[in-house]
Structure 1
Amino acid sequence: MTSEKRAAGDATLGIELTPEHPPDRVADLAALAEDEGFDVAFASSHYFNRDPFVVLSRMAEATEGIQLGPGIVNPYETHPVKLAAQTATIDELSDGRGVFGVGAGDRSSLSNLGIERDSPLRRVLETFDLARDLWAGETVTHEGTFTARDAALNLEPVSEIPVYVGAQGPHMLRMSAKHADGVLINAAHPRDLEWAAGQIEQGLAERPDADGAFESLAFASVSVAGDESDARAAARPPVAFIVGGAAEPVLERHDIDREAASAVSAALERGELPEAFGRVTPEMIDAFCIAGTTETVAARFEAALAHVDGIVVGSPLGPDLEGAISRASEAFARATEA
C-alpha cells in the first residue's frame, strides 16, 4: 500500500495474536477481529508458547476473509524449507489467505535455546528467496547461511503468498523494502517510525519496478483498556521483550537508561520472566508501546499513520482481550476518519 491509499482512508489494520492461550481461544479472537474489520491476523512465534502453525490452522477454520500468517517466525529455530511448507499449508487451509511473516528472531529467546543469531540479514533474505522458489514449484539446492539440497514441496500455495519482513535495524529495513512485499516495523513510537520510513525510502529507491507495491506496517505493541493504568500494567511483558532485543541506537533515541535496559535483558536471558517484567520502567512503556484508553490509542495511531501504511496491533492488546480488540478497532476508525 502507498501513501495514496492512506490518504483515501484505506490503511491496513492487522492484529498479532499470541498462542499463550489455547488454540480454540485464539481462533475465536481471530474471528472477532475479522468481525471488527481487521485485515490480517498474525500468530506470534515463541518457543515457550503453543505452535503458531497449529494455531493458524484453527484460525483458518474460524474465519472466512481475513489474511493469516505467522508473525514472526525465524529461520534459526526451524529450517527455512520447513517454514515454506508450513506457510503453504496455512495458505491451502485458508483458501489463499496466507501471508509469511519472517524475521531474525528475538536474540534473548534464541539464546535460551543455545542458538547463535549469525548473519541475520542474509539468513532472512535467503529464507524468503528460497520460499518463493519452493512455492513456485521449483526444486532447490542452496548453500549459504543454511543448506538445502534438491528440496521441493509436495504442495503448491493456492495464491501468491506475500512476504513481510520483521525489521527494526537500518539494514533489515532497507533490505525488506528492496526485496520483500512488506515490512513489519518493530516500533510503536512516531519517532522510531519516522526514522524507519527514511530507511525504507532508501531501499525502495533500489526496488525493481517489476516487484510491485510495497507495504510498511507498524508492528506495534498496543494495550488498550477503559482504564489507563490497567492498560499500562498489561503492557509490561511485551515491552520487556522489546527492550531485551533493542539495539543501542534505539535506546539512545528514547533516552532509556542503559543499566535499566540491561537488567531487563539479563533477566530474560536467565528465563526469569516475572523479574524482567517488573524491571520495565514507565519510560520504556512510553517508548515501546501504545498504551491507554481508546482516546489515547486513537491519537497515537493517528501519529503513527503519518509514517506507515497501516498498523498491526501487537501483544498484549490489553487486560481484556475481547474488549481490547473492539477498542483497538474503534481507535483505528477514529484515527483514519477523513
Structure 2
Amino acid sequence: MTGGGPTWGIELTPEHDLERIAGLAALAEDEAFDVAFASSHYFNRDPFVALSRMADATDEIRLGPGIVNPYETHPVKLAAQTATVDEVSDGRAVFGVGAGDRSTLATLGVDQDRPLRRVLETVDVARDLWAGETVTHEGTFTARDASLNLEPSEIPVYVGAQGPHMLRMSAKHADGVLINAAHPRDLEWSAGQIEQGLADRPDDRGEFESLAFASVSVAGDEEAAREAARPPVAFIVGGAAEPVLERHEIDREAASAVSDALERGELSEAFGLVTPAMIDAFCVAGTTESVTDRFEAILEHVDGIVVGSPLGPDLEDAVERASEALTRATN
C-alpha cells in the first residue's frame, strides 16, 4: 500500500475511550504509518464506531477492522459496515477478516464451523456487494437478494491467518494476509505456505501483500516493555497450536498451565506464568534498538509489519518508538 517500501501498519485496540483511539490514529498518521486497524473483541468498544472516529481525526492513513470474524456478525452486515467506513473516510477502507478466536466464540455460544470456507465465502460475497450486485448465497451462511444501499467501491481484503490452509487460501484469493506471528521462524514457515497459495492465484487477482500482524511492546526500558507484553502473550500461548510450541521449544506443560488459568478466568495467574521464552517467541518486546533488530529480521519474510497490541506500557510513546524502529529497519 506504500508504493515501494514496506507497509507500516498499527493495531489500535478500543479498550480505551474512542477519543484516545482517534488521537492515536492521528499520531500514527503523523508518524508515517500507512494503515490502522481497529481490533474487534466483544468486550471492547465497537471497532466500526472507533473507525468512524479515526476517520474524522485523519486524512490519509487507511483504516479498517482488524480482525473481524463472520460468526459474531453476519457477513453481509460486515460488508455494509466496512463500506460505511470507506464512505466516511473518502475511500480509505480496508477489510481485515478472519475466522476469529475459537475460545472467545465459545464464550458467546458460537460454533466456529468450517472456518476456511466461511472466511472465503465472506470475501467473495463482500466483493460482490461492494461492486453493487444483488447477492443470493447458500453455503456456510445464507443471503437472499441482499444488496447495499451504498455507492459501489473497491476495498482491499486482508485475511487474518496462522494455519497452513488459511495462509494458502489468502494467497490465492485475497489482496493480502495478516499473519498472526511475531517471530522470524514462524514467518519464514508462513512464507512457504503463502508461496504455495500464490502458485494457484488467478492472474486477474492483482498484487498480493503479506504483513506480519505482530504483537509488539516497545519502551525506553526493556523490562517495562517485556512486562507489558505478558497479557497478550498469555492469550497467544493459550491458543497456540502444538507445532508452533514445538517450533519454539516451549514446554507443553508450561503452556497448558497458562491456558488453564485463562479458562478459569484467573488472568493475573496466567500473566504471571508467562515465561521469558514465551515472550521471545510471541512478541517483539524491548527497547527501540532491540525492536529494530527484530523488525529487520521479520522483514526478510514479509512485505510489511502491523505493530500489534499491546504496543507498549505508554501508548503514545510506543507509537513514536515503533515508527522510529520501522524507519531504522527499512533504511
Q: TM-score range by the shorter chain?
A: over 0.9
* AA in 2 matched with 1:20: E
- 1 CA distance for matches of 2:223 and 2:290? 12
Of the candidates 35, 47, 52, which is equivalent to residue 57 of structure 1?
A: 52
Deviation at 1:304, TM superposition (A): 0.2
Of the candidates 111, 119, 124, which is equivalent to residue 124 of structure 1?
A: 119
2:234 match: 240
**CA-to-aligned-CA distance 1:66-112 (integer Å, 9 cap, x gap):** 00000000011111111001000000010000000000111221121
Cα pair 1:112 1:271 within 8 Å, conserved: no
Bigger mean CA offset, 278-287 vs 166-175:
278-287
Residues 1:305 and 2:299 aligned together? yes
> Given the two structures, how large is their TM-score scaled by the length of structure 1?
0.95
2:25 match: 30
Of the candidates 122, 144, 147, which is equivalent to residue 142 of structure 2?
A: 147
Q: Give the gaps of 5 or more residues in structure 1.
A: none
Superposition map of 1:203-242 within 5 A: 203-242=197-236
2:276 match: 282
Residues 1:39 and 2:34 aligned together? yes
Cα pair 1:111 1:269 within 8 Å, conserved: no
Deviation at 1:140, TM superposition (A): 1.0
Deviation at 1:264, TM superposition (A): 2.1
1:168 match: 162
Deviation at 1:267, TM superposition (A): 2.9
1:267 match: 261
1:188 match: 182
- 2 CA distance for matches of 1:276 and 1:143? 42
1:110 match: 105
- 1 CA distance for matches of 2:246 and 2:70? 29
* AA in 2 matched with 1:90: V
Cα pair 1:183 1:217 within 8 Å, conserved: yes
**CA-to-aligned-CA distance 1:120-166 (integer Å, 9 cap, x gap):** 11111011111001111111111111111111111135x41000000
**Relative to 1, partners in 2 of residues 1:82 and 1:272: Cα closer, same or farther, differing over 3 Å?**
farther
1:67 match: 62
> Given the two structures, how large is their TM-score scaled by the length of structure 2?
0.97
Cα pair 1:189 1:288 within 8 Å, conserved: yes
Residues 1:254 and 2:248 aligned together? yes
1:91 match: 86
Aligned pair count? 331
* AA in 2 matched with 1:22: D
Of all paired residues, the percent bearing the same amino acid is: 84
* AA in 2 matched with 1:241: F
- 1 CA distance for matches of 2:64 and 2:155? 10
Residues 1:292 and 2:282 aligned together? no
Cα pair 1:27 1:59 within 8 Å, conserved: yes
3-state SS of 2:326 partner: helix
3-state SS of 1:218 partner: strand
3-state SS of 1:223 partner: strand
* AA in 1 matched with 2:208: F
Bigger mean CA offset, 289-298 vs 113-122:
113-122
3-state SS of 1:210 partner: helix
3-state SS of 2:213 partner: strand
1:319 match: 313
- 2 CA distance for matches of 1:238 and 1:191? 19
3-state SS of 1:45 partner: coil
* AA in 2 matched with 1:140: V
3-state SS of 1:114 partner: coil
Cα pair 1:188 1:219 within 8 Å, conserved: yes
Superposition RMSD in Å? 1.3
Q: Give the gaps of 5 or more residues in structure 2.
A: none
- 2 CA distance for matches of 1:290 and 1:220? 7
**CA-to-aligned-CA distance 1:24-47 (integer Å, 9 cap, x gap):** 100000000000000000000111
- 2 CA distance for matches of 1:250 and 1:183? 19
- 2 CA distance for matches of 1:284 and 1:99? 31
